[in-house]
Structure formats: structure tokens, C-alpha cells
Structure 1
Amino acid sequence: MERRILEELADSAVPETTGLRWSLHGRVDQVSRIEALMRESVERPRAQVVVLESGAGTGKTRLLLEVMASAARRGFAVVNGAADQPGLVRAVTLVNPRNGRQEDDRAGALAGRFEAQLAGHLRRGPVLVAVDDAQWTDLTLLHALSAVVSKLDSAPVFWLFAVHADHADSPNGAVLRTLARKHRAEWLGPLEPLTGEAVAGIAGDLLDATPGEDVVALCESVGGTPQAIVDLVLDVRREGCVTVTDHVARLTSGPMSTGIASAVEPDPGAPLPRPFVRLMRARLRELSTRAQEVLQVAAVLGHSFAPQDLAEMLGERPAQLLGPLQEALAAGLIGSHSDQFVFHREPVWRAVLDTVPELLRSMLHRQAATMLLSDPRGRIEAAAVHLVHCAVPGDEEEIGTIREAAQRMLAASPQAASALATRGLRIAPTDSTDHVALATTATAALVRLGSLSDAVELAEEQLRVHAGTCPEFTRPLRTWLATALMLRGDTTAAFDVSKETLAATKSRSAASEPCPELLLLNAMSHNDHSKVAEVANRVLDAPGPHSDDVRAAALNVRAMAHWREGRLDAAMSAVDEAVRLRGPLTRAWQCDPLWTRAWLLTRVRRLDEALDAAEAARKAIDSEHNGVLSPVPLALRATILLARGDLIAAEADARAGLAASERAEMPLYEPQLRAVLVISALRRGDLAQATDGLRRLEECAPAERAQPWSALVRVLSALVTSARRGVQAAMEELREVLSDPRQCRVLLLEDPSMTAWSVRTALSAGARDLAETVVVAAEQIAAGNQCYATLVAAARHGRALLDGDVSGLAGLEESYGDPWAVASVIEDTGTLLRDGDADGDREQAIAELNRAMAAFDELGAEWDSARVRRKLRRLGVRRRHWNHEARPETGWDSLTSTEAKVARLVARGLTNRQVASEMFVSPHTVGFHLRQIYRKLNIQSRVDLARIAP
């Protein structure tokens, strides 16, 4: 036995460490500390001793294997000292007078032989000796190892021992403590429970897919030890409780609700996988009968509960709860937060509540509701959650309580309001006003959440149920139906419902509802500019009968009308007044003037102000909990970032916005998001992607809601046509538009750089008449808007190109406020100089074109850079296709400077949002960079990144 153990210790174990199948998760701090000590043992050189003490299943062995693999990569000879199983190791627990000399001799012999083996390894380099489960190691052998540590104190030997925490006071633990004191050892542990990304990483490795939120929540609920997580994931996979779709692992039973939505569900255990239920019931049975009963009553109170409420429910003094609650705390089933106890995770709470028989659950809910309603603090929302489980159908008082609670929840938690109101509908009689009110609240909540199809379906169903009810009672429900239709893009249907609602309205709208007049203005703005302008003028000419919100909407309409007319000052004044008048976003909905202000400021390239307006809009949406509007600030921000020349950040926000649009079923800003992707693809030179993006843009802006985006679609269509089929085809496509002064004006206002592009393209196509028309239109816009430098620069740029006057381009670089337009000015300067007759023009042209190419390269505008490169070649100058040092395809040196900065910040432990704040970009942009970093470094997680970051 001794010889076999000695041979295990002396043999290199590198093959066991080089084929690790899964990444180590959640132990970056421990690995980093051990690696730092390993470097120190080589640099000094001297022996280093580390003892890792932790409980069962916490991942000690996996951590040792990671360290052994790291040591092997660093040139260490790795000696695996894994102990044999307890039943196979001869236990020597005490040295007594009769066998003391024999054991001393045995330990000395073992130490001598092991020292000789290590000496052989040390001749080739440093050595790592790793001893796992040191509590099971033969005690004599442990004494022998301690002797070798002392003898090789000045050699680069790194000693790593792992010991079970429950055996820290054993004789073996005593030897390790003595060793630690004698050699200034680092004592690590215990290993903390895993959470968040570490749990998701383990589950993802085992499932070979990204775990969904519910899967991660279940894994976090089992205590956070790697072993428990592994056991649960293997069980749910084996029993078919997870389904992998699009490389995401989700529960087969469907998504689990959370918060109030889960509290009102009639069957709390239904979504839980069977293996998880079995595991939690087993953990519950480990408690005393008294602790189980207390915990079951606590579960009826909710995911969190106050000890005073629990004591009242049980009819006991708080002191009597001390033992049972301490038992539950020690078992990790609950924790404490502020003045309440909280179940460890929501699935734990669900599992415990599911053990309460249904009939008793109903009786306990009744008891809890009575207790809460009698509370002087008036905890009506909490009481309503219990009432839905026990209220008698037709009880007006109880149903009224549920209705009032759902209405109160609407502003702060639409999801809770929706769940509570929907459950209330099952109890309220269909012929009651409570039923209509609950249907209205549920519809409003679904609209806020972005479940627009569900909102429309519910509202239409309830309106059929209440077809004979007085229209005044159903008016609020109709206004929310119109809102859902409008946000979903069904503007014609929204217009019709709004008109019907307005006709049936006898009294002013309640403050919490969208008013029919407001909805009518919103719906009309998508159909007919002239009609909506007439309605807006009537509102503003007689403001007395109208609310500030309606006047703000009318001013918003007027601002856009002034913009289309080219009256930018008037447009800005109108939108600023609208911003001053605007009320809560719950009433403004799809026409918040803040959005219009950000949009207008972007068009005139006052980009810092535009970003401020977009951020203000985002904060308003977040504060109102209007998830349905989440795509809007992303669309505004993506457009601004594109104008600033940050293609990567703009694309990241645009893609995030499209995902948000799909989640929220709100496509109104999809055209703007897709336009960003089309322009970005064009600038990067990806014509196929630009063409596909244009097709998708045209599909998502059908005739009935194309009005706000028609100019944008024409601009992009012309750009793509020019790239695909040449300038002649582009001019043919634009001829009708450019020949119409009104349409031409709107086209040039959509993007100031379109003036120069249109003139340049028309001249290349031999359509000088169109070029002259564009220049005249641009000069008319500039004449009426002298305070907007971008518009003035655009007109001067167009005139200089038309006249071939290079001097006319002087000074425009400082005026545009758009780096891509500035690069175009430089390119046009070089082009005009190239075509000039002066002797010095050629060298100056080359210098300007070089500068233009560098500017386009800086922006990532490869398409434009390639065009400039071709012009340089015609002048006899050849340039490489890049102006930076070539990077390898993988490894740390393959990262761009931005990617390297993101990697360093993430390696320091910052979240995506914190990195975004540090670098002045969005979290979506950080996520984009991280995906590139993982690919280039061939890693899978933040833990891997932190481990290898220099």
C-alpha cells in the first residue's frame, strides 16, 4: 500500500490535467491567487504551501485540476497526490510508545524516497505537488510529506493540499495546520456558493446550450455547490424536463412566472421539473416536523414574509419561531433581508408551497387576507393576492378589493397588475362594472408589457361580452384597444376605434387613461399629413377644451409639419413647447415630443443634445414601466451613433432594438432600426447585406404606416441602387422625387449629406438639371435656417460640386458635425484638385485623398475607403488595403484596442453596464465586443477571460 501511494505521488499526472472537458466557473479569485503564488515560488525561488479547506461538493477537486493544468502550461512538473478512497487507506491515527519508532522509521523512509523523486523533477524545472482529499491520506505519509516540505524549503516546489471542512479538526487536519504555521502557508476557503454566470456556465457545459433564465434559477436554488448543480442538471436532462431550441435550453413545461404573477397561480408546483420537486421535498424532510410546518405556513404568506405576520398566522409569540426559522436558515431554504425573511429562490418557495394540500392552502389564504385587510397600514395589494385564491364569486367587496389593488399596481408593476386583474376576471360576474374595470386594467397592463396581441385579443373579447353595456362604461377599454392597435402598427384599425370612442365620450378621460383625442392624433399622423395638421391646428387654435397632453400632441404634429416645410426654427420651438407641456408618458404614448426632439436634433447634427434627449426619453420610459416602448430609445440612439461615425455601437443598438421590437410586438420604429443597419452595411462594403436590409425595411414600412419613413426609404433605396446598378439607375429612381420641390426638400432634410451625394451622382449620370434642382432646394433650406451650420454646409457643398469650385469647400469640415460627411468633403476636395489644371494640384490632390482615405478607415467605412483608393491608383499612387499593423487571427494580440480595453475591464469584474459607463457606449455594444473577444481567444466565459487576462 505504501509503495503504491508513493508511486502515485511521484509520477507526473499531466495527462489528467490537459484534457479538461469543461471550463472552471466561479473560482477566478482562488485560481488567480494560487497562480500568483506559483509565480512567486519560481521567481524567488522558495517553496510555497497552500491549503484549500471547503465542504463537500464545492468543487475542490475541479479547482485542483484547473491549477494543475495551469501549472503544466507554465512549465511545472505536476505531481498528482490524490489520496486513495478511505476504505483502502490504512489509518494511522496516533503514534504511541510501542510503535512510535516504527512509524518514525517508516515516515523517514517514505520522505527520503519521495525527496529523491522530486529532486529528479527539480533538475528540469519547478514542481507542483497537489494532494486532494488530504483528510484520507495515510497519516504517516502526511508526516513524510511535511518533512520533505521542510527539506526543500528553498526549492521551487509548490505544495497544494485540499481538505474537507468537516475533517479540519482530524489528526490529518492537525498535521496540515502545523505545516501551515511552520511554512507560512496560505489557507484558502471555504469556497463560496456559486451564483449567476458561474451557475449558468456549469449548466451550459452540461446541456451543451445556453441555459434559459428558469433553468439558471433552478440551479441557483439547490444551494450553489457545483456538485448539486451538476446532479440537478443531469437529472432534468435525463428525464426530458429541458428542451433545446436555437441553442437555448428551456424548461419543457414552459416559462415560469415570477413575483405577483406566480403568487396568484392556482398550482404553484406545476412549472417545476420533477427532479427539482423531489430534491426540495427531500431537503424539507431533513427538517424537524415543527420547522416544516412553520415553513409551509410562511410559504402561503409569499416568497418573502414578515416574522410578525407569520407569528400572527400561527397564533404564537415571535420567540417561539426562533428554533424553526434558525433551522430553515441553516438548511439554506430561507435567508433574511431587511425586516423580512425571504425564501432562498422563488423555485424553492414554489416547491415548499406545493407541499401544502390545496384545501388547506385556500383556508390559509383566507386567514392571511383577513389579517392583512385588518392591518391599519391598509395592505390592500398583499391581501388581494390571497383573495384570488379564496374569494367567493360574486362577493362585491372582495372583488372590489382585487380590482382596486390591480389598478394601484398598474403604474409600478404592469406584470403584477395583469396577473391579478386576469385572475380577478374569473371571479367577477360578467354583468358587473367590476368585470369591465378588471378587463380594462388587464388590457392596459398587457399594453405596457408589450403583449400587444394578447391585449387586443382580450379587449375585443371583453367588448363582445359587454356589447350591450353603456358605451361610457366601456370607453376606457376601447381607448386601450386603440392604443394596442396603434402600437402594433394597425393604424387604420386604431383610427377607426379612436373615432368610435371619441364619438361615444361624454366626459373627460380619467388621468390614468390615454385620451381618445390623443389617440386620434397619433393614428392620423401615420395616414394623412394634411388631415392631421388640420386637427392639430383646431386643437391649438382653441386650447381651452383640451388637456395639456392633447395640446402637446398637436404641437408635436405641428413641429413635424414645420420640419417638412423646411422651417427648422419653428419646428424646434413647437417641439420644445410640447416637451414643456407633456404629462406622463402613459398618456402621450406613441407621440412623446422628447422622441421628436431627439430626431430633429439628429437631422441637424446637434448630436450631443440629441443624445441627451434620447437618454431623457429612455428614463421616462423606464420610470413609467412601459416595456412596450423599449425599442424607441434604442432606435434614437442607434441613429445618433451612426451619425457620429460609430458603426459598431450603432449596429449593436439597432440589433438590440429589433430584438426589443419583436419582444414587445411594437414595430413602429423598426424602419429606423433597419435603416441604421442598411447604411452601416453600405459603409462597410457589404452590398448583399445592405440589399437584404433594404428589402426588410420596405417590408416593415407598408403603405398604411409608411408616412413617417417614406423619405428615409427613398434615400436608402437610391443609395443601394447606386451601389448595385450605377449612378444612371439611381438618378432614374430619384428623378421624379428630385423634380418635385416639396419631395426634394424633405429628402434633403432627412439627411444633410444627401445634398452632396445627389449632386455628385447626378453630375456623374449626366443629369446636370437634377443637380441644379438639388442645389437650389438646398440653398433655399439654408437661407431660411442660417443658424443650423449643417444645413448651410450642405448647401455650400452642393454648390461647390456643381460649379467645380474647390475653394467653395474650404471651411466645411468644421461645419458639418458629421464625420462621414467631413470625410466626403475631404474626398471631394481631392477629386476637384485632381481634375484641376494647376501644376501643384496633383500633389495636393494626393494629400487630400490620402487624408480622406484615413478618415474613412477610421470610421470603418471600407466601401468609401476603397473608392478613394481607386482614385489614388489613377494618380499612380498605390495604397495597401489597410493602414494598421496586421494582427493574428486569434490570441490576445488579435484584439483591437477597443476589444482589449473591454477585455481588461471585464477581467477586473465589471458588468456589461459598468463597462458601458466606463467607455461611454451602450451595454449592447459591450456585449458585441465580448462575443468577438470570446471567439478570438477561444474561451467561453468571463471566468476564462479573467484567468488569462495579462
Structure 2
Amino acid sequence: MRTEGRTPDADTGTGAHARTGATSSTGTDAGTSTAPGTDARTTAELPDATSPFVPTGLVSGVRGRIGTLGPDTLTLLRMGAVLGRRFAFLDAAALCERPPATLITALDEALRAGLLDEDGALLSFRHDLLRQAVYADIPTSARNALHRAAAHRLVASGHRPIDAASHVLRGAEPGDEEAVALLRRAADDVLPVTPGLAADLMTRALELVRPSDAARFDVGEQAIVCLIRAGRDREALTTCDGLLAAQPPLAVFGRLQATLGGALWSLDLAEELCRRAEAALAVGGTPPEVAARLSALRALALSRGRDLGVARAVGEEALAAAIATGDRPAHVQALSALGEIALNAGDGATALARFTALSVVDGAFRPEEAVAHQHVDRFDSAEESLRRAQTEAGSHRQAMLLWAQGQQHLGRGRLDDAEAHFETMEDLEDAVQTPVQQVNSRVIRAWIALLRGNRAGAGEQLVAARERLAVKPNPGNRAVVCFLEALLAGHDRDARSAVDALRRLQEIGPFMRWRLLRTWVGTAVRTALTAGDRALAEDLVAQATAHAERNPEVPTATGTAALVAGLAAGDVGLLQRSVSLLAAGPRPLVLAAARTDLGRALLAAGRTAEAVPVLAAAQDAFAAAGADAAAADVRRLLDGAGRGSGTDAESRPGAGAGRTGAVRDRPAQGWGALTASERKVARLIAGGHTNRSAAEALVVSPHTVNTHLTSVFRKLTVRSRVQLAHVVLARGDAE
């Protein structure tokens, strides 16, 4: 089961414009006069008192009920109905143009009649149908004026602009500058939390600006920003092209193209992004700060190409221009582009420096900083970045945060937690229709399925990856799908198909160019050797060696290079060096795979006594991670070693330490089916925690807690938190 969940492809970018986790338009009853800060709906969601949803009989009944009330009471109720189901007494008194004290008697009468209730500091209609019936009795010709007066009152009394937006939209016509100004303020206000609502507000504001109005381009630019933040990139592109068709001044032309860059990047239109940026720079008339932004976008687009040297030079020029002009957006975009270029080039130290600087300029990019730390094996530092990202990244970066957290768990060998984060990320990206890391996530989950022995599950992930590749067919996604095809073919012992898939991958770009695949180059070399394709194996070894030379302080890079060199040369010494280097790193599953290769080589060389402890350590690591199939494969090697040497593997001193003999499958249902993280979540929720407070306790996102909780409910066959609490309390354990 899936619940929520998205981020930039490892090779398509986690750049300044990668933004997901946006929410759609939401809100309370439109026109509700509540405490400042309450969301409100746009005009399309306003209840219409004359609609079929207000039965005529109800209106007549309410008229009869209020017909005996005093005129002040009736006026108070009508003004309240304009404000919304819940409203402040002071706001209603202001609309009545009366001092509040003179309406106390009217308020008492409305309360005694059961028409209104006191709701804390606010008043509320007993039922919204009652409010609508009162509203229906207001002359239609007066309603728009009353709503405009309500908007003025709400703004004047310190309410947020969003609280007045639905009122000002009543009767707004093209050319209504007051409505446009208020909608712009409201959109700015809600953008950080509800970008979908901000996009709706700005789309409406743009409709209210006359084509000849000089402010149209400013309003349109703000609309594009909101649409991009909300993940509505196609709408942003259409809006921008509509503005460009009006032939704006050159300075505005460049600014609009720079603003649109994020949408083009997210839409996988890197070539189009590069073309537009170059065109805007070529026509001239662009202010220096906008030119810096356009240069940074061009560098970001070039990061997809093969000539990363050119991309780097463009990015450096953009960064210098950003610093010279003091333009923060250009600074963010340039650092992001340079970080992407460095990661794609395999220069981990430079990438870390760029993304660390970026996170200082804008804390929303802490997830990128964490990923950069992971690429240089600094997982403790990555953990700290992720903790800070929980509070600094913002809701629109949740998908990127989930991706970084999933990579952290994956690197540490925590497969259950990794899969939960990736699944949540996928759901979040699906929810906002912004697929960024969908393909990469599916490839990782297929690999996890194979480690667990679930070939069918891995095949399902391949199908899903291909479907998402059709939506976003960039080079990075094409390459990782080719690798997954090779991985599954190799698992099925179809060496020729596996090596053909690797060859197709290499045609897209060198294997080590795709950063998601770098720790799997050993698998690729084994596949090539099995198929007898020594040329491919040697090419992969050369790529891994070059990558290690670029990252001499990174154990995973140097250890992996030694591993593939040892595999290609059949050199036990190199394999031993690989294990030694990887043991100094933070990735237990990469080390376990290297130990397995070393153990096999030692067995082949007749050095059984040396092979057994190496293989035992590999089995322990796989078993601890829940990689049951991988652990079983190593177990078979150990059993063979025991028989071959005339000893019982289980009788060796310490042989059972950390293992339980045969690998056991986790049950599908019941408490035993829960992962360690799911048990933690179950206990916290059973103890009264909300999803948010449980997330804070576990230092994960509420989205991840929701994913775990959905799985817990399914596995325990419960349907409520109360039932879950009963199950947990009945166990009485505190593990």
C-alpha cells in the first residue's frame, strides 16, 4: 500500500529549480472571517446562496424564523452571512457601520434564537445551510458591494490578505486594480505553505489585468513563479509564452525567460532551456542580475551534456556575475548548477563545496548538501544536514528530503527504511504530478527486491520504471533503466542479454557518468566477465579507476576501483585491498559484496581457511540488512567450504555469532511482519503520538510516518489507532 510521496534525478538534477511537495488549493469556508491566518478558497469554491444547494423551502423557513427578530439582529445576521460561517463580532459590527456596544442586544437575541453559537473568540452559524439561507435573503444587487466592504474591513483589521481574497473576487472585473493588488499579496502570503492556492490566486489575478496594462508582465511573472512552485509546469510554460507573444520590452523578455527556467528543467526540456537562455542573452537589454540568472540556467542545462568542461566554465562565469551583482536568485542558481556539474563529473569534493555553500545561501537546499556528503562517504555529516533539513527545507522540498533520507538509509544498509522513504517519495511526487526521482527510485527498489529474493517484485519495478521513463526520457533515466534490465537478465542467467543492456547504457554515456550506478560497477564488471566481454569489463575498470583518482579520499571510490580491477585480473591481492579500503567506509552492503567476491576468489585458490571468515562476515552483513537472498547465496558458499574442507561450517568457533543458520523469511502478517521502523512507529502512535509528533521523535518526515503506519495497519489487520493501541498493549513488550 502507498500513501504519499517525490525529487530530482541523480542525473537530471537536484538543482535550484527542483521543487516538489507542493500542495493543491485548499481552505476553509470561503469568505470566512476568522482569526488572521485561516486559509480561504478562491472564488470558484465560494458557496452560492442562490444555487440549487439552498432549497427554496429552507429559505422560506428561515425567513419565517427570523421574521420576528429585531431589525438590528437581522442586519447583524446578514453581515455575518457575508463574512462566512464563522466570523468575528467586531467585523460584523463594522459592516453594519455600528459601534459594537450598540449591537450587544442584537447578538444576545441571535444567540437565544439558536441561530448563532459562540465559538471561542468567534461567532458561528449553527449550520452552514442556515447561513446560506440568510445570505440568500440579501438583495443580489447588494452582495458584491458588501463583499468588497468585507474585504476592506478584514484588511484594515489586520487579517491576512488571503482572508479577504474571496470577498474581493466577488464581482471583480478586468481592470480591477484593487482586486489584483490584494490577490498578489494573498498569493505571496500563502505561497510557502499552499503553493497550489497561490497559483490559483495569481492565475485569477492575471485574468483581471487588461492586456494593455503595463503591470501585466509583473503579474504574469508572479503567476509563473507560483505555478512552478505548485508543480504546474505546463501551465507556467503556457502562461510565459502567452506573455512573450505580447512582445514585452527586452529587459522583461529576459526576466520572463529566467523565471520560466525552473519549469523547463522540471519538464526535462534541457535543450529548450539552453536555447531560451542563450536567446535571451543574445538579444541584449537584459539587466546584469537577470543575465547572471540566465547564464546559471544555461550552465544547468549544459550539465546534461557530455562536455562538462564547457558547462563548468559557464557556471563559473555565472557565479562571478551573481556575486558582482549581489543577486541572490542568480547566486543560488549558479551554485546549484556547479554542484550538479561536479556530481555528474564525479568530483565529489567540489560538489560538496558547492552544495555546502548553497545551503548557507538558502537552507532549503540542505537535502542537496546531505546527498553531496553521501557521495564522499561522510554519512555522519549527511545525518546532521538531514536533521537541519527537517526544519529548514520547507514543505516544497519534502520530496527531495525524502530522497536524501532514503539514500542515507540505503548507504547504511537499512533496506526497510530506505524502501519506505523511496515509496513515500514516489507517492508525494505522484500527488503533485512532478516526477523527478521516480525512475531512480524504482531501480533501487528492484535491487532491494533481488537482495531479498523477490524476483517477481523486481520485475514489477522494472515495468514501473519503464512507464515513468516514457514520461521523462532523459539520458540519466534511460541509462539506469538499461542497468536494471542488465541486472535482471544477469539474475536470470541470460549473460548475453545482460551485456547487451550494458552496451546500450554505454552508448547513452559512460557507466560512471551516472552517479546512481557508481557503487554497482562491480555488478557490471561481473556481468561482462560472465559473458566473456573482456573489452567491456576493462573499459568499466578504467572508468572506476579514473573515478577513484578524482576522489582519492573516498573509501567507496578507491575500494570499488580495486574491486573491479581485482575481478578483471583475477587478482586476490587487489580484492583483499578492496575489502580493506571499503572496511574504512560507511557502506556495509558494498563491503559485503566485496567480501563475497574475495571469498569466492580465495575458495577458487584453495585458500578455504582464509575464505570462511570473510564469507561469514559477508553473510552477517547481508542478514543484518534483511538481504535474505544475498545472505543465502553466501551461506551456500560457506556450506560448500565446510564440506570441501572436511569440517562442519556450523561447528567452527563463533560461526553462529550474529546469525541464525538458515535464512528465514519474514512473515507477511502479524507483529513479526513489521520492520524495526514500523514497530517504532506503532509504539509511538499507540502511545498517543500524532503522525507529526512521531515524525519529530524519529527525525523523519510525517509523510514517512504515514507510509509506515499504513503498512502497520495492513500487516496487523487493524483499522484504527485505537485497535493498534490494543494490539501493542496486548503484547506488553518494550523491545
Q: 1:525 aligns with which of 303, 311, 323?
A: 303
Residue 645, structure 1, aligned to residue 425, structure 2: no
Q: 2:349 aligns with which of 554, 561, 569?
A: 569
The match for 2:373 is: 601
Residue 822, structure 1, aligned to residue 591, structure 2: yes
Q: 1:908 aligns with which of 667, 680, 687?
A: 687
Q: 1:926 aligns with which of 692, 705, 714?
A: 705
Counterpart-to-counterpart distance in 2, 1:827 and 1:560: 34
User: What are the equivalent positions in structure 2 for 1:44-55 lying under 5 Å apart?
Assistant: none
Q: What is the identity, as a one-letter code, of the residue corresponding to 2:297?
A: L
User: How far apart are 1:455 and its partner, in Å?
Assistant: 3.0
Structure of higher RCO (CA pairs closer than 8 Å, 6+ residues apart): 2
Could you say what secondary structure the match of 1:262 adopts?
coil
Contact kept? 1:410, 1:417, Cα under 8 Å: yes
Deviations 1:917-944 (A, max 9, x none): 3344544443344334333433211122
Q: Percent identity?
A: 27
Counterpart-to-counterpart distance in 2, 1:378 and 1:891: 51
User: How far apart are 1:817 and its partner, in Å?
Assistant: 0.9
The match for 2:4 is: none
The normalised TM-score by structure 2 is 0.76
Q: 2:225 aligns with which of 426, 441, 444?
A: 444
Contact kept? 2:175, 2:209, Cα under 8 Å: yes
Counterpart-to-counterpart distance in 2, 1:426 and 1:350: 28
Q: What is the identity, as a one-letter code, of the residue corresponding to 2:142?
A: L
The match for 1:786 is: 552
The normalised TM-score by structure 1 is 0.61
Deviations 1:643-697 (A, max 9, x none): 2222222222222222222332322333333333232223222333334433543
Contact kept? 2:289, 2:325, Cα under 8 Å: no
Q: 2:603 aligns with which of 821, 826, 834?
A: 834
Contact kept? 2:511, 2:518, Cα under 8 Å: no
Residue 318, structure 1, aligned to residue 85, structure 2: no
Deviations 1:404-453 (A, max 9, x none): 55556656654454344334445433321244433333332222222223
Contact kept? 2:253, 2:280, Cα under 8 Å: no
- 5+ unaligned residues in a row in structure 2: which ranges? 1-23, 651-658, 731-735
Contact kept? 1:869, 1:878, Cα under 8 Å: no
Deviations 1:704-738 (A, max 9, x none): 86245566445434323321344454345446878
User: How far apart are 1:262 and its partner, in Å?
Assistant: 2.0
The match for 2:213 is: 432
Could you say what secondary structure the match of 1:526 adopts?
coil
- The RMSD of aligned alpha carbons is 4.7
Deviations 1:892-924 (A, max 9, x none): 566565544433322222122333333445444
The match for 1:718 is: 486
Q: 2:146 aligns with which of 358, 364, 368?
A: 364
Q: What is the identity, as a one-letter code, of the residue corresponding to 1:856?
A: F
Counterpart-to-counterpart distance in 2, 1:349 and 1:698: 52
| Deviation larger for 750-759 or 934-943 | 750-759
Counterpart-to-counterpart distance in 2, 1:440 and 1:215: 23
The match for 2:315 is: 536
Q: What is the identity, as a one-letter code, of the residue corresponding to 1:526?
A: R
| Deviation larger for 786-795 or 298-307 | 298-307
Could you say what secondary structure the match of 1:910 adopts?
coil
Q: What is the identity, as a one-letter code, of the residue corresponding to 1:746?
A: R
Report the CA distance shift for 1:426/1:603 in structure 2 as closer, same or farther (over 3 A).
Answer: closer
Report the CA distance shift for 1:342/1:679 in structure 2 as closer, same or farther (over 3 A).
Answer: farther
Counterpart-to-counterpart distance in 1, 2:117 and 2:259: 41
Q: 1:656 aligns with which of 412, 424, 442?
A: 424
- 5+ unaligned residues in a row in structure 1: which ranges? 1-212, 222-257, 586-591
Counterpart-to-counterpart distance in 2, 1:302 and 1:281: 20
Residue 938, structure 1, aligned to residue 713, structure 2: no
Report the CA distance shift for 1:787/1:837 in structure 2 as closer, same or farther (over 3 A).
Answer: same
Report the CA distance shift for 1:675/1:358 in structure 2 as closer, same or farther (over 3 A).
Answer: farther
Deviations 1:456-515 (A, max 9, x none): 344444554xx255454565545444432332333344444444444456343889x994
Q: What is the identity, as a one-letter code, of the residue corresponding to 2:147?
A: H
Contact kept? 1:391, 1:399, Cα under 8 Å: no
User: What are the equivalent positions in structure 2 for 1:483-498 lying under 5 Å apart?
Assistant: 483-498=262-277
Report the CA distance shift for 1:887/1:789 in structure 2 as closer, same or farther (over 3 A).
Answer: closer
Deviations 1:563-585 (A, max 9, x none): 455443334334434444x4587
User: How far apart are 1:818 and its partner, in Å?
Assistant: 0.9
Q: What is the identity, as a one-letter code, of the residue corresponding to 2:691?
A: N
Counterpart-to-counterpart distance in 1, 2:142 and 2:681: 54
Report the CA distance shift for 1:821/1:304 in structure 2 as closer, same or farther (over 3 A).
Answer: same
Counterpart-to-counterpart distance in 2, 1:899 and 1:926: 9
Residues paired across the two proteins, number: 678
The match for 2:169 is: 388
Q: 2:510 aligns with which of 739, 743, 747?
A: 743
Could you say what secondary structure the match of 1:489 adopts?
coil
User: What are the equivalent positions in structure 2 for 1:150-229 lying under 5 Å apart?
Assistant: none
Report the CA distance shift for 1:425/1:758 in structure 2 as closer, same or farther (over 3 A).
Answer: closer
Q: What is the identity, as a one-letter code, of the residue corresponding to 2:264?
A: L
Report the CA distance shift for 1:344/1:764 in structure 2 as closer, same or farther (over 3 A).
Answer: farther
Contact kept? 2:416, 2:675, Cα under 8 Å: no
Report the CA distance shift for 1:757/1:527 in structure 2 as closer, same or farther (over 3 A).
Answer: closer
Residue 665, structure 1, aligned to residue 437, structure 2: no
Contact kept? 1:675, 1:694, Cα under 8 Å: yes
Q: 2:401 aligns with which of 621, 628, 633?
A: 633
User: What are the equivalent positions in structure 2 for 1:856-935 lying under 5 Å apart?
Assistant: 856-875=622-641, 876=643, 890-892=669-671, 895=674, 898-935=677-714
User: What are the equivalent positions in structure 2 for 1:115-154 lying under 5 Å apart?
Assistant: none
State which structure, 1 or 2, has the greater radius of gyration over its C-alpha atoms.
1
Deviations 1:785-837 (A, max 9, x none): 33222223223434554312365356446323112112223323432343343
